[in-house]
Amino acid sequence: MCGISGIINKSNKAVDYERIKNINDLVSHRGPNGEGFFLAENIAFGHRRLSIIDLSDAGKQPMTYNERYTITFNGEIYNYIEIREQLELLGYIFTSHTDTEVILAAWDKWKEDCFTMFNGMWSFAIYDKIERTVICCRDRFGVKPFYYVNNDEYFVFGSEIKQCLPFLKANEVNLPILIDYLALNITDHSTETFFKNVLTLKGGHYLKYSLVNNEYLIKQFYCISINNDLSNIKYNEASAQFKKEFERSINWRLRSDVTVGTCLSGGLDSSFIAAVAAKKHYSVTNTSFKAITAEAIDDEVNEVNYAKIVSTTANLDLHVTKPSSDDFWSEIDNIIRLHEEPFGGPSIAMQYFVMKEAKYAGITVLLDGQGGDETLLGYPRYVAAMMKGKGLLGKIKILRSASSNYNTSIKDLFRIYFYFTSSLVRKRRIKLKYKNIKAEYLKCANWSFIDQLAAKFANINDLQKFEITVSQIPQLLKWEDKNSMYYSIETRLPFLDWQLLEFNLSLPPQHKIKEGWSKYLIRENMQGLLPEEIAWRRKKLGFNAPIRSWLQKKEEMLTYIKKSEIANAIMDVNQLKIQDTNYLWRTYNLAKWGEFFNVKI
């Protein structure tokens, strides 16, 4: 995993070396092991290297293949060994052991068809010297970032927004995205960012840029596919196949020439990953697998005891971080800067401290559990989706079965059901709650998003796809990438292995929520690996932040907001109430972001 950058000068003049070096240096934290540049014609590529596979100089980038193709690549192709073997049978000869060289050879052989062969996470650009094109591609789910700016003078791309900002005339706020964040509490649901004219390439898409006419087109190479043949699969067969696919996903994500560890919240997903990975790691190295957990200073959100049980049972080398309120306030300005856009809540800071501890523990690659809830129906709202279309008796049956094992009351499950499925009610509540936002700005919100989400509850697969590609996973992936790469750590996500993900989504819901238990496939396959108090626990927390302790300075936050130029421009700050902690945080985060990036309305 690394940092990439690129500049195309539309006037057909050579790109100045200092210009590509400057934007490449902005992401030096993403690649502390080296830098490289490629300049030809009117283009320039930059690269910052974080060495993971083949630590030798053979892995340096940008890498050129057959004097024709040059790549700058961020990510990992987990099945590069298998693809390399296919290419060798076709006569290809390799000079390194890197996945980068495999990408280039695969592109040479199969062109765009190679994208669907890759199992991994990536953002890369390939320059074709003969065709005079640049192909930019992002992995299926957008695990690795790709930002770009396209104006009259330049096409510029990079791993982070800050690399694009020097090519803007001013840092203007993207008002619809900003209002979606404040009023709807959603981010990363489109290809637009908080900065006007800074865009992202959507996961599962590629961009083909012509150096001949300075035009580009974007095409989709992947969409989630449901295997209808699995709709009638027996549970025992499904469970066995799930275990096989999950273990393969783990094994591929343990491929590394540097130290690999795992995040461990104590919840089901991270505990299952830790147990399976630790067993495999010990069988190969005869050493304990490293794990990082966070201990919250508020007991109601503290899962450290569960993490310690997992650590003892799985023989983990457990490292614990316990960030205090002082730690939070001493770091929060830095966290807001590194995220480059406002984020939803302080739990993102908790993940930041986990990555910081991982760095101290000497870990370079870290497994994490993103995607487990979305693929195996871990959230209570999936129970609401199962209720959709059922009669009253059917709804009551589902509620009785699910309420105790989701640790959610029947009343709360009904509330979730009506909140998500009745878009009219939800819109009215939002408009009433956020009436301090000026009317001319509040109308900019993407109100159709609420309708789209409500419609997805008619089909549970449609809801899962929507959350994986639009409403949930994209923001989680962005936050994780920002936090981990700030500390030069590559995170790998076993549940977002596309083959495992499609298998999980194709299974009938009753295999995933069974006898009222969410994520039943994980719980059952934990047997023999972890004790029952982990496998059959009800309460779900994750790396939740101790908001009660961390956000005690609400009066100071409100005072800062009232002085904010951007906050005053879009709302009546005097109507803000410190009792609404989440909204107060979002507005405070917005005010800080506006100041740090000199954002104009």
Topology of 2-169+198-220 in CATH? Glutamine Phosphoribosylpyrophosphate, subunit 1, domain 1 (3.60.20)
- Asked which of 277-281, 305-309, 414-418, 442-446 is least confident by mean pLDDT, the reply is 414-418
Average pLDDT over residues 124-149: 99
Higher pLDDT, 362 or 386: 362
**pLDDT tops 90 at residue 399:** no
pLDDT at 68 over 90: yes
Residue 264 burial (CB count, 10 A): 35
3-state secondary structure of 528: coil
Range scoring the smallest mean pLDDT among 285-294, 457-466, 538-547, 555-564? 538-547
Residue 63: which H helix or E strand, with range? strand 63-65
Evaluate if residue 405 carries a pLDDT over 80: no
Q: Smallest Cα–Cα separation from 484: which of 368, 592, 574?
A: 368
The answer to whether domain 2-169+198-220 and domain 228-375+469-542 are alike in fold is no
Residue 578 labelled as part of a binding site: no
Residue 17 has pLDDT above 90, yes or no: yes
- Per-residue pLDDT averaged across 198-212, rounded? 99
* DSSP secondary structure, 125-165, as one string: EEEETTTTEEEEEE-TT--S--EEEE-SSEEEEESSGGGTG
Q: Is the CB of residue 403 less than 8 Å from the CB of residue 416?
A: no
Q: What homologous superfamily does CATH list for 228-375+469-542?
A: HUPs (3.40.50.620)
pLDDT at 416 over 90: no
pLDDT for the residue numbered 484: 98
Q: Which residue has the higher pLDDT, 128 or 395?
A: 128
Bridge partners of residue 135, in order along the sequence: 126, 208
Residue 543 is predicted with a pLDDT of: 66
The answer to whether 576 and 548 have CB atoms below 8 angstroms apart is no
Check pLDDT > 80 for residue 407.
Answer: no
At residue 264, what are phi and psi to the nearest 5 degrees? -140, 100
Percent helix, percent strand, percent coil in the chain, to nearest 5: 50, 15, 35
Q: Is 4 annotated as a binding residue?
A: no
Whole-prediction pTM: 0.96
Q: Using the predicted structure, report yes or no on whether residue 408 has a pLDDT greater than 80.
A: no
pLDDT for the residue numbered 393:
82
Q: 201-215, 402-416, 514-528: lowest mean pLDDT where? A: 402-416
Q: How many CA atoms lie within 13 A of 173 on its CB side?
A: 26
**Between these two residues, 385 and 130, which has the higher pLDDT value?**
130
Average pLDDT for 227-234:
96
Q: Is 212 helix (H, G, I), strand (E, B) or coil?
A: coil
Identify the pLDDT of residue 368. Answer: 98
* pLDDT(538) > 80: no
The mean pLDDT of the chain is 95
Beta strand 260-263 with 365-367 is parallel
Report whether pLDDT(331) > 90.
yes
Per-residue pLDDT at 385 exceeds 80:
yes
The pLDDT score that the predictor gives to residue 541 is: 62
pLDDT at 406: 73
Catalytic residue list contains 223: no
Structure confidence at residue 302 as a pLDDT band (50, 70, 90): confident
Task: Lowest mean pLDDT of 305-309, 418-422, 583-587, name the range.
Answer: 418-422
**What is the arithmetic mean of pLDDT over 184-209?**
98
Residue percentage of the chain with pLDDT more than 90: 86
**Is the pLDDT confidence value at 534 over 80?**
yes
Q: Which pLDDT value is given to residue 431?
A: 92
Mean pLDDT of 494-511: 98
pLDDT of residue 153: 98
Domain boundaries, the chain: 2-169+198-220, 228-375+469-542
